[in-house]
Amino acid sequence: MVKIKVYFLMTSITFLQFFIPIVIEAKKRGYDAVFLLRTHYKDYANILLPSNALMLKVYSQKFGFKIYNATADKLRKCKGIVFMVDGDLYGRNDSLKASQHNYLEKKRNVKVSLIENMNYKWVYPKYISYVDYVFFPNKTFTDEFKFNSPKNIYLGNSKYDGIGDPHFLFEKFKLNKKNKHCLILFPKHIFRRKYKKHEIIKIYEYLRKMNYKLIVKTRPKDSIADKAYKGDYYVCSDKFPNESLELMKICDLCVMFSSSASEETIYSKIPCIDLPIEHKIKRH
């Protein structure tokens, strides 16, 4: 009996947090998991970058999935369930001409698109006719933008799976569980000009007066050079598992600046203060 294969169109290192929980469940059910890789124009996200490729190889050995480059021939041979993120439109450009949809035979595959934060709002109308299903956390994500389709399925978000227990997480981040911790999701580079340095430092001072140890979290594309901004602990990552979610599980407060992670704070049930910078885009 031929095993059904589950394929993952892997463009960005950030997709690991969505795909690996699905790999784990697929393997439990006897499916073979295959990652198909293509380049990404942003170095930090590019899965073919040597450091990212090495990380992927380690995960493939741990979780038992195969890795191939997404050549036209490999894509044409796909037969099974194909997972992607945001219609596989990001990474090269948002044109379907650069998408791997062009090589996947429709009758041989079931194509499932996941969403990555708020990016879906810009590309959903472009790819909805090319996929079989789109998985959303809940109906708020589609009702707000009037994205109505029988292809919309409301199943939650796989990035919330596999977050460790608090004891493990305190050990992982080398935190003293007796302290109060505040997670600060530092502003993106494009937002940082909206706050003067002394204003950020003043926020830090107030939090420290309330006896919080400050954990400053950012992503590689928004890394911080100035030590004054790094708080008591500095975490810069964008991989599996989602370390923002892990930290939300053990912190007492979260402070953010117009971050789409607002949905993550709701899931994590952590008190949150959002200091808005971006007013044009409506967040959740």
Mean pLDDT over the full length of the chain: 90
pLDDT at 278: 66
If one counts every other C-beta atom within 10 angstroms of the C-beta of residue 166, the result is: 12
pLDDT band at 279 (very low <50, low <70, confident <90, very high): low
Alpha helices in 210-261 (DSSP H): 243-250
DSSP track, 123-175: HHHHHGGG-SEEEESSTHHHHTTT---TTEEE---GGGTTPPPHHHHHHHTT-
pLDDT digits (tens, 9 = 90+) for 83-94: 999 999 876 655
First to last CA, the chain: 46
pLDDT digits (tens, 9 = 90+) for 26-64: 999 999 999 999 888 888 888 998 989 999 999 999 999
Residue with tokens 């930090």: 44
